[in-house]
Amino acid sequence: MYAIECLELTKVYKSLSALQNLTLRVEYGTSFGLLGENGAGKSTLVRLIMGFIFPTSGQLRVLGQEHVALAHAKIGYVHERPIFDPHVSGKRYLIHLSRLTGIRGVDGVKCVDEMLRRVNLQDVANRSIGTYSKGMQQRLALAQALLADPELLILDEPTSGLDPRSQWEIRQIIQGLRQEGKTILICSHYLSEVEALCDAIAIMDKGRVKLSGSVNDLLQSKQVVEIVLAEHLSACDVVSSLAIPEEYIVTMQAHTFEIQARAQSIVLDKIVQGHIPLISLNPLNQSLEDLYVHATDQEASSIPPHSLSNAGGAS
Ligand SMILES: Nc1ncnc2c1ncn2[C@@H]1O[C@H](COP(=O)(O)OP(=O)(O)OP(=O)(O)O)[C@@H](O)[C@H]1O
């Protein structure tokens, strides 16, 4: 069973298709990154998951509920730009919310104090929120989302617009939640953040999933090795004389070609047996940024399928 399961999900606003037959699954206890350019459909998907809007067609199940509103009490949500009453203190605000969620009296205060410690706001707990920095407000929003100990946490651009120190603080909190085994869905434009915080990702483009899967699998499947031949050799001639399968080749230049890392030993055997002189063999690590650029690049859609294969279960 999945914490979030979308099957052929479509959302049309008037005449605009914001999501088109989107299939995506988020496993319980994992941290999932939703990536995509502005207008890709990430917020629409989050709004559907939260039950703020309804799908035009397709199926959606959140924490086992087809009626996603029934899952609401078990979801913690942090908006990209949380809005607070600036005159109320952080502690008072959280106590008010804890009462609304049914945690009252001494237990409520204990729970709030614990949450304030957790997001490192204990020293400013009694100050009015209007005096908080943006980073503090974002941490308060996280505390608010965590108050009812949700099963699923949805973080929309959790570090957007924050200074590096504040970003780091938020990421540390998210790492802690991840280690506790919380299911987390993060929408972010920061690729290094997603690479560091997420077990799996989906890259969305124009309402569709372009690429998805586990971060490790995706990165490993895209590792390449650069082979630099002696200058008198043409890469094209060597590849054809050694009969190196086309699907192993990523790029080819005059005396250099890149191959999939997984094909390294096969290609090297051929090179040794063919007595081909090499200048160097260089592993080139791919980052999530490289994957992202390929997946969202229209030109890249026409490059060989091995460079852009969908490694995950989504389509
Ligand atoms: N309420 C709405 N009515 C009409 N069109 C909408 C509405 N909300 C979103 N859209 C359109 O749907 C598409 C997807 O928008 P969405 O906000 O889901 O993208 P996004 O990936 O979250 O973008 P961003 O990164 O900028 O937040 C866009 O073309 C947007 O203009």
Task: Determine whether the shortest distance from the Cβ of 296 to ligand 1 is under 6 A.
Answer: no
**Atom 29 (ligand 1): residue with closest C-alpha?**
39
**Atom 30 (ligand 1): residue with closest C-alpha?**
39
43 CB-near residues (< 8 Å, 6+ apart): 156, 187
Atom of ligand 1 nearest to the CA of 189: 25
Query: Bridge-partner residues for 227, per DSSP?
Result: 257, 281
C-alpha 49 to ligand 1 mean position (Å): 15
Best of 38, 52, 189 for a ligand 1 pocket test (most atoms within 8 Å of beta carbon): 38
C-alpha 18 to ligand 1 mean position (Å): 6
C-alpha 17 to ligand 1 mean position (Å): 10
Atom of ligand 1 nearest to the CA of 40: 21
- What pLDDT is attached to residue 217? 87
Closest by CA to 138, choosing from 90, 97, 200, is 90
Is the pLDDT reported for residue 307 higher than 50?
no
Domains and CATH numbers, the chain: 2-212 (3.40.50.300), 223-284 (3.30.70.100)
Higher-confidence position of 307 and 229: 229
297 CB-near residues (< 8 Å, 6+ apart): none
C-alpha 43 to ligand 1 mean position (Å): 7
Q: What is the mean pLDDT of residues 207-229?
A: 89
C-alpha 13 to ligand 1 mean position (Å): 9
Report whether 146 contacts 115 (CB < 8 A). Answer: yes
Task: Determine whether the shortest distance from the Cβ of 52 to ligand 1 is under 6 A.
Answer: no
Is the pLDDT reported for residue 305 higher than 60?
no
- What pLDDT is attached to residue 104? 74
195 CB-near residues (< 8 Å, 6+ apart): 215, 287, 288
C-alpha 40 to ligand 1 mean position (Å): 7
Task: Determine whether the shortest distance from the Cβ of 82 to ligand 1 is under 6 A.
Answer: no
Q: In a 10 Å sphere around its CB, with 0-12 CB exposed, 13-18 middle and 19+ buried, how is residue 40 labelled? A: buried
C-alpha 169 to ligand 1 mean position (Å): 29
Angle at 295 (CA atoms; ends 289, 300), nearest 5 degrees: 115
Encode pLDDT of 161-217 as tens digits. Answer: 889 999 999 999 999 999 999 999 999 999 989 999 999 999 999 999 999 999 988
Q: Tokens 């989302």: give the residue.
A: 145
- What pLDDT is attached to residue 56? 96
C-alpha 39 to ligand 1 mean position (Å): 5
Task: Determine whether the shortest distance from the Cβ of 44 to ligand 1 is under 6 A.
Answer: yes
C-alpha 204 to ligand 1 mean position (Å): 12
Task: Determine whether the shortest distance from the Cβ of 64 to ligand 1 is under 6 A.
Answer: no
Higher-confidence position of 222 and 248: 248
- What pLDDT is attached to residue 214? 93
**Atom 1 (ligand 1): residue with closest C-alpha?**
13
Residue 173 phi, psi (nearest 5): -65, -45
What average pLDDT does the chain have?
89
Closest by CA to 226, choosing from 197, 255, 201, is 255
> What distances in angstroms separate CA 238 from CA 30, 233, 242, 257, 274, one per listed residue?
45, 7, 6, 10, 9
